[in-house]
Each structure stands twice: as C-alpha cells, then as structure tokens.
Amino acid sequence: MTIDPSKVRRFAHGSRVPGWDEAADLAKDPAVVPDPASTPVPAQVRAAIEAHMASYPDVRSAAIPALHVVQREHGWCSPTAIEQAACVLRLTPAYLAAVATFYDMFSTTPKGRHDVYVCTNISCSMRGADALYEAMLTAAGDDPDFHVKAFECLGACDIAPMASVNGEYVGPLEPADCARLVDDLRAEREVLPDKQLRKRKVAGT
C-alpha cells in the first residue's frame, strides 16, 4: 500500500491542513479580554458562571464549568460562546479556546443537540461496540440534531456495549436498539427506560 504523492491534497505553503493560515476572525484579537460594553452576555449565562466563580479561591478554576454553561447555551463552543465566557471570567478567549480544545466533551465545531457517545473501548468492543457504533450512525442518518461520537471508556463496562445519551447511560445495547433510541430522542421521551444504568441493581444480587 504505497501513497501516491500526487493524490495528497495540499493547501497553502504545501500544508495538508486546509485553512491553517487563516485566523478565525481577523478583526478581533483573541489575546485581549473582551470588553463588557461591546460583548452582550445573556443574564442567565452570566449568573451561572458567576455562581461557579464564587465557589473557587481562583476564578480561573471556573473555566471548565463556564465552558459547560456556554456550550449548553449555544450548542457548541462557538467563538461567540467562548467570548461570552471570557468576558465574564475576565480571561482571554485564546486561553479558553486552549482549554476547550483539550477536553473531549467540548466541541469547537457546530454539533447536533443530542450527544450520543458510544463507548468503543476494550471491554465494550469485545462485546460488539464497533457494530453498535455503525448501527447508531446509520440510525441517526444525516439528522443534524444528532451528534454521534465514538468515545473512550465511559466507565460502564458492566453494561457493555453501552452508550451515553445526553448524559444518560444505557446498556447493554443491541444494534437493533439504535432505532428505538433515536425515536425516543426525536419524540423528546425518556431514552430506553428499560436499559438505563441508574435503575440497575448491584451485580450478583
């Protein structure tokens, strides 16, 4: 299997990364703390972030909770969302972008409203997680509301193969359950009530 160099797509300066030399917004300086006067922040977002800031000796510690708040508000960590968090925390957007890109649960690209994380780590994959992930992708189709992601160990190997649906752990799943799961989410119902982890008893009892 050799790579044909003429088939490799190249962008500016021979890079294989498209748009690597374009700043997100050339008009704004990400290294400057946003001006509260020109950065409107919704009142509930400000209140939630300030509540988090009050629980820590150093406001910087509220960076992750603040990003959770703005991601919930905006659907993803958009430049606007990061700027709002930065404005309340009095940090630079560049700093928060650095934090947001480090963690798996923050998305710096637009994503669907429903997070479906399918665990594809060792224990789950030995019980058919890869087939489950494929089935989940097929069931969600190209619906923009769904954000199906293969995730590393979610800490629920007792119900392998499993998925976390908007934070609700469900399992053990069959590929056939995916259609029901997607239907439940579309109808805004409780997801697979018979397979929820929170209702499960301790093993061996």
Partner 1 sequence: MKVLYKDLDEPGLNTLDGYRRRGGYDMLRKALKMEPQDVLQQMLDSNVRGRGGAGFAMGKKMSFIPKGAMDKYLVCNADESEPGTFKDRELMQKNPHQLLEGIIIGAFAIGANKSFIYIRGEYQHQADVLDAALAEARAAGLVGERILGSDHSLDLVVHRGAGAYICGEETALLDSLEGKRGNPRLKPPFPAVQGLYKGPTLINNVETLMNVPVVLSMGAEEYVKLGTETSTGTKVVSVSGCVQRPGNYEVELGTPSREIIYGLAGGPREGRTIKAWFPGGSSAPLLPGSDEFLDLPYDFDSLAKAGSMLGSGAIIVIDDSISIVDVALKTAKFYRHESCGKCTPCREGTNWTVKMLERIQTGEATPMDLDIMASVQDQIIGNCLCVLGDSMAMPIGSMIKHFRAEFETHIEIARERGGLGVSIPQVNRGEQAGPYPMLEPA
Footprint of partner 1 on this chain (CB under 8 A)? 1, 55-65, 67-68, 98-99, 102-106, 117, 120-123, 125-127, 151-160, 164, 167-169, 197-198, 201-205
DSSP assignment letter at 136? H
Q: How far apart are the first and last CA of the chain?
A: 53
| Dihedral sign for Cα atoms in the order 103, 123, 120, 75 | negative
| Closest to partner 1 by CB, 124 or 139 | 124
DSSP assignment letter at 135? H
CB of 27 to partner 1, least distance (A): 27
| Closest to partner 1 by CB, 53 or 135 | 53
| Closest to partner 1 by CB, 117 or 146 | 117
| Closest to partner 1 by CB, 12 or 101 | 101
**Residue 142 in contact with residue 187, Cβ under 8 Å?**
no
CB of 100 to partner 1, least distance (A): 8
CB of 201 to partner 1, least distance (A): 5
CB of 93 to partner 1, least distance (A): 14
CB of 159 to partner 1, least distance (A): 8
CB of 203 to partner 1, least distance (A): 2
Three-state SS string over 155-201 comes to CCHHHCCCEEECCEEECCCCCCHHHHHHHHHHCCCCCCHHHEHHHCC
Phi-psi map region of 196: left, alpha, beta (phi>0 left; psi -120 to 50 alpha): beta
| Closest to partner 1 by CB, 5 or 167 | 167
| Closest to partner 1 by CB, 38 or 47 | 47
* DSSP strand pairing (168-170 vs 163-165): antiparallel
Query: What CA–CA distance (Å, rounded) separates 173 from 102?
Result: 30
